Copies of this chain bind each other. A is one copy, B any other.
């Protein structure tokens, strides 16, 4: 082999070696890197979606929690108020007893007024009984309507009804012309 040929061969071998090195680099690093990149990109996308869903979920929970708290606050006195209504009925009955002294009557009225005031401050009020409304009143008896008493006029209130804001605690028991 001439020196020239040797040199050429040497050069070719060098090129081959370098080609192999490049090829090897592609095999060992570049190809897996591409897959690794894809995996990393998928992972990133996956966690981004999970993150966005978690954020949305958190906002939903906060919104529901606020709504629930507002409702709880708004109707918090409902149970105690309902349980107090029979006491108010008893007071009204006591006030109708004949022969009460002025002192007793005054005392009973004070209790009644302070109870109604306490309830009013918490949003509880006596149901209106101007005209019959089946959403607010329960007809326990009917009377025949006539010219002076048109249908759906309330003749008498047996027992007062009460509502808490927009919620009916109990309907008014009424006698109604029909």
Contacts and interface: CB of A to CB of B under 8 A. Distances in A.
Question: Which interface class (under 10, 10 to 19, 20 to 34, 35 or more) fits A?
Answer: 35 or more
Interface string A13-34: 0110011011001000110011
Nearest to A93: B107
Contacts of A65: 61, 65, 68-69
Chain A interface SS verdict (over half): helix
Nearest to A85: B118
Given A7-B8, A94-B107, 6 more contacts: A11-B11, A54-B54, A69-B72, A83-B117, A84-B118, A87-B115
Interface of A: 3-4, 7-8, 10-11, 14-15, 18-19, 21-22, 25, 29-30, 33-34, 36-37, 40-41, 43-44, 46-48, 50-51, 54-55, 57-58, 61-62, 65, 68-69, 72-73, 76-77, 79-81, 83-84, 86-87, 90-91, 93-94, 97, 99-101, 103-104, 107-108, 110-111, 114-115, 117-119, 121-122
